[in-house]
């Protein structure tokens, strides 16, 4: 009985919500939540699993490097439940777009946002990715 009480007390203190609400404009602090709602989406939040945050930040940094090293018109990096997609307009303007997509398992839905939209300046696209990675790491 005593061990059961200790286990219950321990689990109450170690519980952490499964989702982080990321401000896609990087102006507000990252918040924790138990689930992601449509209201969160309208508030310009993006869901990332707590356990995935480090992998997503590292993938954003890797994608910034990939812009220089990769000649493919489309490329993706998977960071657990979140995938980062790079799309380069290889035919016309050489613009870069970067989209983040998270799959929420319990709702079986996908949420996405475009961090970089048709940016012609490669360095600005890379800087935006590095700023986002830094924001996620803080």
pLDDT digits (tens, 9 = 90+) for 13-67: 333 459 999 999 999 999 999 989 889 999 999 999 999 999 999 999 999 999 8
Return the CATH number at 51: 2.30.31
How many Cβ atoms are within 10 Å of 5's Cβ, its own excluded?
9
Coil vs helix vs strand at 119: strand
pLDDT at residue 69, rounded to an integer: 84
Element (H, E) at 60: helix 53-69
In angstroms, the CA 50 to CA 36 distance is: 13
Find the domain containing 89 and state its range. 2-137
Residues in the chain: 138
- pLDDT band at residue 1 using 50, 70 and 90 as cut-offs: very low
Q: What is the band of 107 on the pLDDT scale with cuts at 50, 70, 90?
A: low
Average pLDDT over residues 84-94: 86
Question: What integer best gives the mean pLDDT of the chain?
Answer: 86
Residue written as token pair 């286990």: 7
Query: How many separate domains does the chain show?
Result: 1
């Amino acid at each position: 009985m005593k061990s059961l009480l200790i286990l219950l007390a321990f689990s109450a203190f170690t519980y952490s919500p499964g989702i982080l609400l990321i401000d896609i404009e990087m102006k507000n602090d990252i918040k924790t939540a138990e689930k992601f709602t449509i209201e969160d989406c309208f508030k310009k939040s993006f869901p990332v699993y707590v356990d995935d945050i480090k992998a997503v930040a590292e993938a954003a940094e890797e994608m910034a490097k990939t812009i220089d090293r990769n000649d493919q018109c489309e490329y993706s990096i998977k960071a657990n439940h979140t995938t980062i997609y790079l799309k380069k307009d290889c035919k016309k303007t050489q613009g870069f777009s970067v989209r983040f997509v998270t799959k929420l398992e319990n709702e079986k839905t996908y949420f996405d946002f475009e961090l970089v939209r048709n940016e012609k300046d490669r360095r600005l696209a890379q800087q935006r990715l590095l700023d986002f990675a830094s924001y996620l790491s803080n």
